Chains A and B, each alone.
Chain A
């Protein structure tokens, strides 16, 4: 596609439910990143993929968070048993490579509200 696409754009869920957020990166981009941005705050790095592999999962806030990427393309971020503190905008970005100096392109984000 022309840009990074995220869906849904907005998601309201009840506390305790599971949610799945989707990211469709720019075609051909091998690197994919997930960030979280709480209201009025900066970006918090969650996880990155190089191809289908996520070498470092230490940025995920808790074991309720998981992410996968298949076919070197679409990625899903899953939050199990959502809590109110999970409410934030979840941003996805992709870049052509992981070489230093590579520009990352961001999607519009998914605004998650846990009620």
Chain B
């Protein structure tokens, strides 16, 4: 299973761009990279997903280099409501050939006024 490594915590001021990088050195050919956001007392919520290069949606951008061994979630102009834990996931196949989601420890982002 592909293991992910990301910073435990990050602080940012309101209005700044935040970049959270995730390492996944043993990512497999069929794996996608997905980021989830979790607020306290809530289940995780999908933010963005990509396979390679760059993906952008209304919430964030995801940058994936050619070797796919890392990825960077970019949040433009964060606000206080972006304070949450952000999880990087790499789709992994079990020995049975089935797919399961494997969450890392997550990055706790604190946005400061």
A55 CB contact (under 8 Å) in B32, B87, B94, B105: B94
| A108 contact set on B, CB distance < 8 A | 41-43
Query: Is the C-beta of A65 less than 8 angstroms from some C-beta in chain B?
Result: no
Kindly name the residue among B41, B45, B99 whose own CB sees the greatest number of chain A CB atoms within 10 A. B99
Minimal Cβ-Cβ distance residue in B for A59: B100
| A104 contact set on B, CB distance < 8 A | 46, 101
Q: Provided the pairs A42-B103, A42-B106, A100-B91 are in contact, do residues A55 and B98 lie with their beta carbons within 8 angstroms? A: yes
User: Which size class do A's interface residues fall under?
Assistant: 20 to 34
Q: Provided the pairs A93-B43, A99-B99 are in contact, do residues A42 and B49 lie with their beta carbons within 8 angstroms? A: no
Complex interface residues of chain B between 10 and 59 (CB less than 8 A to chain A): 30-32, 34, 41-46, 49, 51
Contact A101 B49 (CB under 8 A): yes
Complex interface residues of chain A between 44 and 68 (CB less than 8 A to chain B): 45, 48, 50, 55-56
Contact A100 B99 (CB under 8 A): yes
Interface digits, B74-101 against A, CB 8 Å rule (1 contact, 0 not)?
Answer: 0000000000000100010011101111
Separation of A103 and B65 alpha carbons in the complex (Å): 22
Query: Is the C-beta of B5 less than 8 angstroms from some C-beta in chain A?
Result: no
Determine how close the nearest CB of chain B comes to the CB of A46; give it in whole angstroms.
Answer: 10
Query: Is the C-beta of A107 less than 8 angstroms from some C-beta in chain B?
Result: yes
User: When A and B form their complex, which 7 residue pairs have the shortest distance between CB atoms, in order from nearest?
Assistant: A106-B43, A101-B32, A43-B103, A98-B99, A42-B105, A55-B96, A100-B91
**Residue ranges of A at the interface with B (Cβ–Cβ < 8 Å):** 4, 31, 33, 35, 41-43, 45, 48, 50, 55-56, 91, 93, 98-109
